[in-house]
Amino acid sequence: MAVASVFAQFLFTLDAEVDKIARTPFTQFYGTNYNTSSSIEKSQIGNIIEKITTIVHEIDSVVERLAERKASLESMKREHSRFCSVMGRVPGDVLSIIFEYSIPSHTRSRSGFSQFTASLSFNVSGVCQWWRTVALRNPKLWNKIYLDASKVVPNTRYPRFTELASRCRLHPTHLMVHNANLSWMSGTEHGAILEALKTTCQGLELRFSNRNGLLPRQLDEWLSRQFPNLASLSLLSCHLSRQVTANGPPLLAFSQLSNLHVHFAEPNKLREHGVRAIYYLHLPHLQRLIVHTIQTSFRVTVNISRLATSFPGLEELRIHVPLIKLQISRTELAAMSQDASRFSQLKVFSLITSGGSHHLHIFKNLVLPSLSELNFPLYFAEKEGEDPHTIEALFARSHCPLKRMNVINRRSESDRLWVHRWIERLQSTYPQLQLVDDRSYEDINGIKAAWYS
């Protein structure tokens, strides 16, 4: 029998029963002020109410069962629709790429802080057996792990993390820790988590939850113990509090780094010491360095000569300091003018600041023979003067293979006229030179993405 016929018969029977109950001696009094005092009528009214209540409950029960049946049928409809869906015919390699661009771990901000959102890797792997197979075969879905240290409960097992760690045994892994602090680093509750990543973790990002001083040697000992194969390190919202003496033992973990990003966040220490602590790390093999500070109302001191001495092997140097005072002594100026290999391997140099022309003298003495990309602000110049000639002198002195320059011009369009003339002059010397004026230099996470690829 068709479902429609069943419902028609059911409704016919229901209507007959309801009509029978609806015919009472009191229907004529609907909408009036009639009120009985007769005990007989009160008894009749009570019986009628009881019958109606019973019928209403029975109808509610039927409606509930019908809703369940409807939901079941809708589910069956969706399941059968999947058998003919386009997604079911997507090749595994295409589906894998879709997964890569869907997980939140690929989202990033320009502030230098990774987005600590839960990964969808487990979610997509739980949809069906086919999706799980595709997801587990793609290491890119599992090579970035986000951990909130404040939510790690002591003596607690994390089955999902155990599975995640098992996915990371055969390829490099990058760990981003939110709310890190010294007590968490010295504790044992995270031992099982970090132990699972000990040999595969090559990139580490620590975002600290407080501004207490961080001893470089204490951090180095922890890194050496937990991550012996570390190649990239980001220290965010921190302050390196003490100097490392030159005659002390080497910093083993720091010395094997290829990439280092330090974000200074303690205003009082910045006012007093600038970014001085990083000079004492002395990392001759470091290739890429990002120095990044918070927005301040005072000028932060950065000694470019000390950076060159401490990191002679740098290929990329990016200084992001809103208000900057680039410090250099007369003795250092003379030494730099005599030493043509001060930054002999530096290919990319970014100096991003809003502090006017206080840093221009740096270019007067720098020699960068390997420079291929330069990013610097021109908003301190309203008309052509000494500034562009200083930059041109750097290029001529360095004989560098310049290919890209980001000229960050904050002036009005009328003030850009001389910049355009200067650019034409540069391009006559460097025909392959690509000149841009965009904000890609601010995308610190975009820059670091290459570290974690």
pLDDT digits (tens, 9 = 90+) for 20-50: 888 888 888 888 888 888 888 889 889 888 8
pLDDT over threshold 70, residue 416: no
Name the strand (E) or helix (H) holding 135.
helix 129-137
Distances (CA, A) of 308 to 338, 339, 367: 14, 11, 11
Dihedral Cα 351, 355, 361, 364, nearest 10 deg: 40
SS3 301: strand
| Whole-structure pTM value | 0.70
**Number of helices (H) and strands (E), helices first, in the chain?**
17, 14
Distance CA 245, CA 3 (A): 87
Q: Under a CB-based contact definition with an 8 Å cutoff, are residues 104 and 119 in contact?
A: yes
Least confident range from 15-29, 155-169, 238-252, 254-268: namely 155-169
Comparing CA positions, the residue from 265, 260, 284, 287 lying closest to residue 275 is: 265
Other C-beta atoms within 10 Å of 413: how many? 7
What is 268-453's CATH topology?
3.80.10
Band the pLDDT of 339: cuts 50, 70, 90. Answer: very low
Least confident range from 33-47, 64-78, 115-129: namely 115-129
Residue with tokens 């001389």: 418
pLDDT over threshold 60, residue 7: yes
b (16+ CB within 10 A) / e for 34-49: eeeeeeeeeeeeeeee
Structure tokens of 415?
A: 């003030």
Band the pLDDT of 447: cuts 50, 70, 90. Answer: confident
b (16+ CB within 10 A) / e for 234-256: bbbbbbbeeebeeeeeebebbeb
